[in-house]
Chain A
């Protein structure tokens, strides 16, 4: 129990982020920043004003992990439903 922030269960953290910008880390090297409007127990999300960043690692043959060049693709979306099973992490305050 966190008395200072009033968080008793993990979902409280998400509830306190409603109408705030959040950072979401997804499976498949994707990240989102958007304003949170809805969520449910599966961590299905509805976000607006979303910027998605997709990390694409170009690993040339024979190169070890972490040495390949990382390129990033960005996309914007006005209103987005995100299926919860792809969510890894949600952090208040986007970036």
Chain B
């Protein structure tokens, strides 16, 4: 009886937020600040460091390289990508 009251609550799902649990939201939290590949529905890829993103999947990238049909076609220091164009975000380094 009293034991239940004194026992501290079990630790939350993950002690450190950097450990991904598998949910999409956790994944996105985990890749902020990491190297990512953003693929657009057009097939063009953007490789860079994910600065941040919002609920529409608008994305801010740093040190961005644009890859189209296997070649680097542009480089940007910073880039804002409008979320509706995003097909996926892929981690390009270990989380």
Contact = CB atoms under 8 A, between A and B. Distances in A.
Given A13-B60, A65-B69, A89 B81 contact: yes
Given A12-B60, A88-B40, A88-B85, A2 B51 contact: yes
Interface of chain B, main secondary structure: strand
Interface of chain A, main secondary structure: mixed
B54 A9 contact: yes
B69 A92 contact: no
A22 B51 CA distance: 18
Interface of A: 1-2, 5, 7-14, 23, 43, 65-66, 84-85, 87-93
Interface of B: 32-33, 40, 42, 46, 51-54, 58-60, 62, 64, 69, 76-82, 84-85
29 contacts: A1-B52, A2-B52, A2-B60, A7-B52, A9-B52, A9-B60, A10-B51, A10-B52, A10-B53, A10-B60, A10-B81, A11-B54, A11-B80, A12-B60, A13-B51, A13-B78, A13-B79, A13-B80, A14-B80, A43-B82, A65-B69, A85-B84, A87-B82, A88-B85, A89-B76, A89-B85, A91-B64, A91-B77, A93-B76
